[in-house]
Amino acid sequence: MNVSGASVKICAILVMVPISCGSIHAGAHTGVNMGAGATAQRVEDSTSRLQNRPDSAVSRDVRSALRRTPSLDASGIRVRARLGVVTLTGWVPEHRQIALAGNTARSVRGVRSVTNQLTLRNSR
């Protein structure tokens, strides 16, 4: 095969890749099952929606989740959210509740990461 023949084949392959990617992308929005590529697109779409939740809604939902968590005293926990990054400050009465609060916050829709700065404070 000469150089120009190889160039034509490479160009043909490069042209086909974007076309096939475009069809996967279109299928993801129309609900057509286009295989693994469509799944990746749906995950990307849902991730961008999560990142767009208002900080106030994320904070509210984290506070609510903490209050509903069995075996967690959330009365000393403060919650702040900024662009999906949640910071927990304050105190809990038992050491195991520090990890429980962090895991609970991570489970809330829209939380991208958690900075857990909770401390242990013995109840008196």
CATH of 55-120, one of 3.90.1280.10, 3.40.50.10070, 3.30.470.20, 3.30.1340.30: 3.30.1340.30
pLDDT of residue 9: 55
Q: Dig out the tokens for 25 from the structure.
A: 């992308």
pLDDT in tens, 60-80: 999 999 999 999 999 999 999
Distances (CA, A) of 110 to 41, 75, 76, 92, 105: 18, 23, 23, 24, 10
pLDDT of residue 122: 79
pLDDT in tens, 3-57: 555 555 554 554 444 444 444 444 444 444 444 444 344 444 445 544 579 999 9
pLDDT of residue 52: 78
Give mean pLDDT, residues 100-109.
98
